[in-house]
Chain A
């Protein structure tokens, strides 16, 4: 029993007697149909007293066991219901009452329109979606061989499928938060349809760069034709408790990969070949190709910034070989020694991407960068008060418990105020 739905009747108006009085309950009737079977000691009298007191709180009176707040519409499809229900009805055609019929020899379930036959009250297995589509459980009782319903249930909450997006910009709001953040600032420099045409017909070039000024980090990337026509500018933040430029570069590459993956759904043909230039040699080497299966051990998941790398590899796996960009290393900040106009195109694009990343950081001074949204491939993130830990976990975890007492010790020993200690720590001025 997890929620009130597990003890309420099919109408959602009352706590069922069998749960209140702890009568013998068939395994199929408790809320653990999906393979989770209880195995526990028999509760004592005191436990049952607490249980009934809890249920009394939910009911108008302890005798009727009518719920103070009846249930509304069903939110889940029959296959996701935790309990099996014997009677079903289609609320739009209330004259047709369905019961789960005896199991056929071939294991299939059928439904009886007249409810005149015995039904399998302890049927197991998930309901067949075809048979139960549009139907919801109903409370029914038998009198002289006929079944009566006393209450007509509400129809299941309709699941309205949104219109499929037709452009990349329409697609953005429908993406998950972590993916939406990869395109936080997205500026098309030529009309959208022209960009789509170019990415299918001409070789293209991406240049990505990331920057970090602790504790902030951001990335930016540019899409251009090989002739130097800029098509798209994208920038966003690189999350992490102690973000660095390596992670920011990783976010940049991930953003490019996700762009290619998403834009594929809007083009009819295949994407033309592309190159991705990045000035971080280490990240280029890490993201260039997916490591062999034997290298992807559980221990390898503890590498620095594994979450971003794993997402890059997973996205690469989803792309067709022809659409996957060749990741190349170029020297960064070449404009320091040579004028921008005289630089080759990849170097110029790298300068543009670097500027985008820097501008993004300047434009969002108050943004909280410390909490990383969970990326689907990694599936879990460790959060500490400083933020999400993406590297050097051992040091961070050990410091999390010992730093507080040490600070208190120093405050007490030297008679400092807490602000004074923090200021000294900031300056590196400790005795």
Chain B
């Protein structure tokens, strides 16, 4: 029931959302304690074990945040890779705008450790945070960085 009903029903809208870990954890906590008990685990079992992967002996319960993060990554990849449809064009425009606003010399999805608190797009910022959490990055063929115009030109946001 956990995988067949709960996972699918709560997971369906999450890829289009941009909740924080804290918000999703609050939403998940109560139901999760009950479901863990019904699945035969002690309610007070370590969370690391409960959410740990089966390969290491974990119980493979999932955080809603991970579900959201995977959905975001998956949506980004599949739409970036099919550049003919309208959602894909919109995505490219949004990423271009995000990179323009970031004003840095690296792609915002490659260097995810750099704090960019001023970014505007909630969805892509949430995706970036998710990549940071899993120590991942996207390498884009066209990273849409505004090019240097002159020799000795510098990005204003990178001036120390």
Which A residues between 159 and 198 are near B, CB-CB below 8 angstroms? none
Known: A36-B100, A374-B141, A401-B133. A5 touches B80 (CB 8 A): no
Is B62 on the interface with A (CB-CB < 8 A)?
Answer: yes
Known: A82-B146, A306-B81, A425-B56. A54 touches B156 (CB 8 A): yes
Chain A residues, CB < 8 A from B139: 374, 380-381, 383, 388
Is A320 on the interface with B (CB-CB < 8 A)?
Answer: no
Which A residues between 392 and 412 are near B, CB-CB below 8 angstroms? 393-394, 397-403, 405-410
Residue of B nearest to A393 (CB): B74
Which B residues between 117 and 160 are near A, CB-CB below 8 angstroms? 133-142, 146-156, 159
Q: Is the CB of B53 within 8 A of A381?
A: no
Chain A residues, CB < 8 A from B83: 379
Q: Is the CB of B53 within 8 A of A74?
A: no
Q: Is the CB of A430 within 8 A of B57?
A: yes
Q: Is the CB of A2 within 8 A of B154?
A: no
Mark the stretch among A292-300, A324-332, A343-351 that contacts chain B: A292-300
Mark the stretch among A65-73, A92-100, A102-110, A243-251 that contacts chain B: A65-73
A406 to B51, CA, bound (A): 8
Q: Is the CB of A76 within 8 A of B147?
A: yes
A75 touches which one: B56, B76, B147 (CB < 8 A)?
Answer: B147
Chain B residues, CB < 8 A from A3: 103, 146, 148-149, 153-156
Q: Is the CB of B53 within 8 A of A399?
A: yes
Which of A6, A54, A380 has the most chain B CB atoms inside 10 A of its CB? A380
A75 to B57, CA, bound (A): 57
Residue of A nearest to B78 (CB): A298
Is A12 on the interface with B (CB-CB < 8 A)?
Answer: yes
Q: Is the CB of B58 within 8 A of A397?
A: no
B70 touches which one: A71, A157, A384, A397 (CB < 8 A)?
Answer: A397
Encode contact with A along B50-85: 1 for CB under 8 Å, 0 otherwise.
011101111000110010011001101111111101
A400 to B134, CA, bound (A): 5
Chain B residues, CB < 8 A from A12: 150, 152
Q: A-B pairs with CB below 8 Å: how many?
A: 178
Q: Is the CB of A5 within 8 A of B100?
A: no
Q: Is the CB of A298 within 8 A of B79?
A: yes
Is B19 on the interface with A (CB-CB < 8 A)?
Answer: no
Chain A residues, CB < 8 A from B80: 379-380
Interface residues on A, range: 35 or more
Q: Is the CB of B69 within 8 A of A409?
A: no
Is B48 on the interface with A (CB-CB < 8 A)?
Answer: yes
Known: A380-B139, A409-B49. A398 touches B81 (CB 8 A): no
Sample of 12 more A-B contacts, CB < 8 Å, known A58-B159, A297-B82, A301-B82: A4-B153, A54-B159, A379-B141, A380-B80, A380-B140, A383-B139, A384-B136, A394-B70, A400-B134, A405-B51, A408-B48, A430-B57
Q: Which residues of B are in contact with A by a Cβ distance under 8 Å? A: 46-49, 51-53, 55-58, 62-63, 66, 69-70, 73-74, 76-83, 85, 87-88, 96-97, 100, 103, 133-142, 146-156, 159
Q: Which residues of A are in contact with B by a Cβ distance under 8 Å? A: 1-8, 12, 31-32, 36, 54, 57-58, 69-76, 80-82, 157, 296-299, 301-302, 306, 310, 374, 376, 378-385, 388, 393-394, 397-403, 405-410, 425, 430-431
User: Would you give 21 A-B contacts (Cβ < 8 Å), ordered by A?
Assistant: A1-B156, A3-B148, A4-B150, A5-B153, A8-B150, A32-B100, A69-B152, A72-B152, A75-B151, A301-B77, A379-B80, A380-B80, A382-B73, A382-B138, A383-B137, A383-B138, A384-B134, A393-B73, A394-B74, A401-B133, A402-B52
